[in-house]
């Protein structure tokens, strides 16, 4: 027996076990209370983020925190408190990381509640909306186009019901459901309507797993995180031999005082650890989630923020994205002498026949609310994106029976029909046109539109979003190409796009080539595409990706789900169907297209700034490893105590990196994160380490007698600080007033340490004489000049 067969059998068994009720009325309040008492409730806890315990564990129990923690305890035992400052800094940073991620968790949890679906159930014969967690076994749940099936059940009513089970089976073709058929949670309705009786709720239903995966605060694969993991792996390989050599040199070869040797050994190991890099990345992501949350933007997968930074093509569905959901009927043009009053009556009857009208039909209902008195619908054919028309058969009274179709003129009519010319002219004005046609046969025919006779054109005007033009302008400025992909008539879509300032060249998707390469070339040439089927939307996303583009897809209807699933980033509107919200990584809860620039900007800010600050952290690691190796080779005392490197790290990396990581950044992220970071950090670290050790060796020859080691350390510290400051100044470009102020403040803070006596004593820093300090400055200046030239040369040679 297959898994599906087993599910169907289990569903039937559960349905039989539940007390039988007439399908039309659903459960009574007493029966609902009884099931709640027995625990037969769909009480799956909403979990949109990691738990508090997981957040603490993820931020505290890391490999490098363990290394630093052990070294901190050692330093507390053998050295003054100022040599243990690095431990307190790590505690503070870890605390900041926990607090920021907790704030992000609270933001996500509150947004997940706002975006939670509320299915319609029948209880006591009345349709009511309840939370997903309030469903009970045996509930009768109504469904229509776009609704997600949230629990497993058995179909009780079906009116042209078509269900997409692609999230479960991978098969995109919709499945027609009849009463008695099993329906599975995780699927969604693409056409028609009906109701089903819940047979599996809670953790027994597949929806429990789907909901958890769809809304989790995930830390899944991303180039940024995998790149940092790769860097940390390299760092570990470098640290181990360098640390062992340093321990041997300081404790055995030099035969120094034990406490001083331990302090200098720890001072050499600590800066090798880029302890703040992972933490700062998590903080940047968390703050990004909080910022987007304030704009009513739900980030369902954390790496989506990073993905947005890499987007170079955004595919927009016209309806609900560039245009508002509502429409207005501006004109009805009767054809072939049809009576206007009769046409209005037909349109009113079609509106009443559909219990779940789409935006076009709702506009007709609003225009002709009371035109169908006395007509009775005997059969209905719901609208689907693939079919592009709906229909109904009416009994008009006195034995008169008629069948009507309403939909796209170019689908219902032959290519040479004269009505299409008028339709084309109206489409060129940006108007949407539906054709009312009288069917020649029955709705149950294989081709119900064959032989249909045109009766009237229904002209609708779409409401443009007031912010759409500005948003598209932003994408153009940021070098992000917009592609309008719509199921509507290509000419009409092109007219709307032209009003918004886009290239009005349009392509009818029915004329697109099938091959991915050929389709990709056409997509690169054109901007607007009409008459796109749901499967074509998916193929178009794949064609763009095959040509190296990073694609974001926006949408709000069930016809967008396949494309949203395959796009690098799926963006759904909060008012869209449950299906689109389930598969999208980003949900715009306020339905504002104008939020997208903020979302893209946030992604660019995160990845662009993390790339900057990663270079700072890795420079420190490289010069620390190099210094340790040089000390081992020369068999001299390590030049620094932990307090010196704590001061340097705080002023040249820690504080600046925090501000730079949260600064605005609109540059589109580029690939090859590890290569780009290492390209700059390795030469920067090597030059800084070599310059520092050069000053240290010169100082060892210059100073002699008691206190010589402190004087040598102070000179080496000055060179390292000045070189690191120049690296910071390069990283901080392009300069703004606050970036200049940041670099200047860090320099001023170090100057204060050098001139205030008690700070000199606290950090064991005192410049002795005149010639050696100026020599240290000269060495730093030479290293900075070489570094400036080298990085400019690397910039010119960069393929990006």
Residue positions annotated with a catalytic role: 317
Task: Tell which residue, 458, 187, 423, 200, has the closest CA to residue 330.
Answer: 458
Check: CB of residue 288 under 8 Å from CB of residue 306.
no
Q: How big is the chain by its Cα radius of gyration, in Å?
A: 34
Using CA atoms, how far residue 262 sits from 379, 423, 654, in Å, is 88, 86, 25
Judge contact between 533 and 386, C-beta under 8 A: yes
Q: Are 227 and 669 spatial neighbours (Cβ–Cβ below 8 Å)? A: no
Check if the beta carbon of residue 743 is closer than 8 Å to that of residue 616: no
Residue 466 Cα to chain centre, angstroms: 25
Alpha-carbon dihedral sign for residues 266, 271, 275, 276: positive
The b/e string for 312-322 (b: 16+ C-beta within 10 A; e otherwise) is bbbbbbbbbbb
Are 141 and 195 spatial neighbours (Cβ–Cβ below 8 Å)? yes
Of 716, 697, 721, 725, nearest to 776 by C-alpha is 716
How many Cα neighbours within 13 Å face the side chain of 540? 34
State how far the Cα of 203 lies from the Cα of 44, in Å rounded to an integer: 7
Angle at CA of residue 76, ends 71 and 78, nearest 5°? 95
Tokens representing 482? 């917009």
Q: Encoding tokens for residue 756?
A: 């205030």
The rounded distance, in Å, linking the Cα atoms of 395 and 403 is 9
How many residues are there in the chain?
Answer: 800
| Residues contacting residue 457 through CB under 8 Å, at least 6 positions apart | 332, 333, 335, 409, 419, 422, 423, 426, 433, 434, 435, 436
Give yes or no for a contact between 541 and 553, defined as CB atoms under 8 angstroms apart: yes
Listed in sequence order, the residues at least 6 apart from 132 whose beta carbon sits closer than 8 Å to its beta carbon are: 42, 44, 116, 117, 118, 119, 150, 211
Q: How far apart are CA 102 and CA 71, in angstroms?
A: 28
From residue 230, give the alpha-carbon distance in Å to each of 97, 223, 237, 341, 786.
Answer: 21, 10, 11, 73, 28
The total of other beta-carbon atoms located within 10 Å of residue 726's CB is: 22
| 381/391 Cα distance (integer angstroms) | 5
Nearest to 612, CA basis, from 541, 564, 572, 665 = 665
Q: At what angle do helices 258-269 and 642-649 cross, to 10 degrees?
A: 20
Q: Which residues pair with 385 in a beta bridge?
A: none
What is the per-residue DSSP string for 640-697? --HHHHHHHHIIIIIHHHHHHHTS---SPP-S-HHHHHHHHHHHHHHHHHHHHHHHHH
Q: Where are the alpha helices (DSSP H) in 338-418?
A: 340-353, 359-367, 409-412
Inter-residue contact 169 to 50 (CB < 8 Å): no
What does the DSSP assignment read for 29-70? HHHHHHHHHHT-B--PPP--S--HHHHHHHHHS-HHHHHHHH
Q: Are 297 and 115 in contact (CB under 8 A)?
A: no
C-alpha span between 722 and 688 (Å, rounded): 9
């Amino acid at each position: 027996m297959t898994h599906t067969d087993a599910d169907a059998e289990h569903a039937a068994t559960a349905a039989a076990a539940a007390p039988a009720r007439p399908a039309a009325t659903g459960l009574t309040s007493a029966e609902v209370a009884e099931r709640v008492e027995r625990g037969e409730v769909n009480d799956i806890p909403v979990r949109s983020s990691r738990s508090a315990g997981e957040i603490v564990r993820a931020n505290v129990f890391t490999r490098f925190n363990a290394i630093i923690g052990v070294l901190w305890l050692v330093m507390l035992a053998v050295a003054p408190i100022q040599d243990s400052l690095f431990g307190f800094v790590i505690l503070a940073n870890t605390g900041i990381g926990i607090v920021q991620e907790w704030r992000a968790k609270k933001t996500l949890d509150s947004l997940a509640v706002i975006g939670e679906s509320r299915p319609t159930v029948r209880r006591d014969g009345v349709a009511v909306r309840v939370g997903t967690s309030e469903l009970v076994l045996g509930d009768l749940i109504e469904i229509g186009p776009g609704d997600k099936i949230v629990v497993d059940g058995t179909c009780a009513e079906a009116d042209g019901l078509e269900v997409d089970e692609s999230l479960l089976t991978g098969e995109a073709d919709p499945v027609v459901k009849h009463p008695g058929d099993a329906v599975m949670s995780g699927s969604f309705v693409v056409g028609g309507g009906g109701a089903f009786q819940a047979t599996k709720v809670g953790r027994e239903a597949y929806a429990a797993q789907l909901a958890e995966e769809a809304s989790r605060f995930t830390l899944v694969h991303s180039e940024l995180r995998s790149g940092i993991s790769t860097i940390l792996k390299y760092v570990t390989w470098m640290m181990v031999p360098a640390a062992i050599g340093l321990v041997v040199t300081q404790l055995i070869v030099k035969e120094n005082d034990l406490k001083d040797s331990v302090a200098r050994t720890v001072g050499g190991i600590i800066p090798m650890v880029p302890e703040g890099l992972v933490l700062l990345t998590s903080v940047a992501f968390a703050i990004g989630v909080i910022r987007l949350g304030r704009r009513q933007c739900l980030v369902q997968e954390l790496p989506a923020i990073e993905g947005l930074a890499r987007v170079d093509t955004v595919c927009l569905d016209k309806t609900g994205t560039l245009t508002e959901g509502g429409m207005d009927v501006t004109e009805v043009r009767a054809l072939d002498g049809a009576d206007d009053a009769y046409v209005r009556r037909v349109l009113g009857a079609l509106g009443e026949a559909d219990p779940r009208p789409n935006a076009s039909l709702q506009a007709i209902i609003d225009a002709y609310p009371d035109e169908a008195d006395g007509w009775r619908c005997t059969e209905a054919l719901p609208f689907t994106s693939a079919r592009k028309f709906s229909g109904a058969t009416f009994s008009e009274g006195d034995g008169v029976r008629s069948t009507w179709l309403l939909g796209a003129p170019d689908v219902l009519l032959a290519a040479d029909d004269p009505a299409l010319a008028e339709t084309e002219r109206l489409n060129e004005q940006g108007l949407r046109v539906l054709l009312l046609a009288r069917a020649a046969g029955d709705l149950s025919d294989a081709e119900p539109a064959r032989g249909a006779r045109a009766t009237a054109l229904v002209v609708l005007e779409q409401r443009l979003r007031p912010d759409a033009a500005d948003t598209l302008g932003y994408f153009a400025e940021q070098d992000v190409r917009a592609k309008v992909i719509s199921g509507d008539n290509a000419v009409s879509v092109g007219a709307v796009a032209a009003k918004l300032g886009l290239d009005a060249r349009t392509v009818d998707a029915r004329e697109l080539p099938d091959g991915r390469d050929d389709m990709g070339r056409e997509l690169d040439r054109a901007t607007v595409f009409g008459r796109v089927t749901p499967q074509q939307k998916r193929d178009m996303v794949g064609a763009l990706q095959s040509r190296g583009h990073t694609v974001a897809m926006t949408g709000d209807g069930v016809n967008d789900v396949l494309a949203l699933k395959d796009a690098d980033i799926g963006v759904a509107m909060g008012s869209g169907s449950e299906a689109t919200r389930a598969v999208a990584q980003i949900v715009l809860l306020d339905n504002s297209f104008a939020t997208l620039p903020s979302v893209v900007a946030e992604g660019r800010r995160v990845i662009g700034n993390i790339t900057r600050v990663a270079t700072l952290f890795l420079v420190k690691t490289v010069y620390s490893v190099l210094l340790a190796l040089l000390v081992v080779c020369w068999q001299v005392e390590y030049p620094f105590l932990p307090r010196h490197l704590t001061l340097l790290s705080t002023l040249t990396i820690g504080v600046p990196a925090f501000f730079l990581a949260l600064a605005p950044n609109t540059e589109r992220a580029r690939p090859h994160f590890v290569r780009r970071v290492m390209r700059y950090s390795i030469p920067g670290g090597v030059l800084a380490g070599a310059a520092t050790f050069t000053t240290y060796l010169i100082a060892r020859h210059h100073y002699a007698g008691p206190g010589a080691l402190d004087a040598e350390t102070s000179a080496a510290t000055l060179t390292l600080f000045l070189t690191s400051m120049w690296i910071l100044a390069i990283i901080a470009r392009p300069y703004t007033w606050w970036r200049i102020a940041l670099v200047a403040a860090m320099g001023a803070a170090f100057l204060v340490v050098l001139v205030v006596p008690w700070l000199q004593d606290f950090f064991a820093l005192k410049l002795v004489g005149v010639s050696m300090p100026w020599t240290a400055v000269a060495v730093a200046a030479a290293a900075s000049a070489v570094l400036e030239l080298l990085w400019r040369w690397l910039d010119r040679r960069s393929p990006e």
